[in-house]
Structure 1
Amino acid sequence: MEKQEIFDKVSDIVADHFDIDRAKVTDELNLKTDLDADSIDFVEFVLEVEDTFGSEISDDEAEKLNTIGEVVNYIASHQASK
């Protein structure tokens, strides 16, 4: 899956989950500060990303994911080879 396709899917999840305009989702958008996500919001987001992409993100790795760009890069580098 191309990074743009990953970005589009992650953006849709963010827009839905955090009820923001899809156009405001950028690589630099910070999940914790820009979206004011608490720990429950963040865990739910990570679970939704895992379901969407069929991958698992460890708690330690999830804590390091702050921006949309970091989430996209993580998914791109951890995709199952098909």
Structure 2
Amino acid sequence: MTKETIIEKTNDFLIDDFEVEAEELIPGANLKDAIGLDSLDFVDLVVAVESNFGIKLVGEDFTNVVTLQDFYNLIETKLD
């Protein structure tokens, strides 16, 4: 899967499932601020990634994830 496809699929479920405005999905944006994540949303985010990409994520995977670009990179790394 290409990086562009990962970004497109991720943005699609963030817009549809988390009601994030498309203009807020800037790679350098802070993930927590852009999406407005709370602890319940975090669980939903993990479930959304698993259902859209077929990969498992755990809390430790998010240790170095600060920006939306970090999140895209995490998904790309897990898909390899």
Whether TM-score is above 0.5 comes out as yes
Which whole-Å CA distance do the structure 2 matches of 1:28 and 1:11 have between them? 14
Query: Whose helix fraction is larger, Structure 1's or Structure 2's?
Result: 2
Partner of 1:61: 61
TM-score using structure 1 length: 0.80
**C-alpha separation between the residues in 1 aligned to 2:10 and 2:67?**
11
Asked whether the equivalents of residues 10 and 68 of structure 1 are also in contact (C-alpha less than 8 Å), the reply is no
Match of 1:7 in 2: 7
Bigger relative contact order (CA 8 A; separation at least 6): 1
1:17 paired to 2:17: yes
Unaligned 5+ segments in structure 1 are: none
Q: What is the RMSD computed on CA atoms of the aligned residues?
A: 1.7
Calculate percent identity across the aligned residue pairs. 29
Aligned residue-pair number: 80
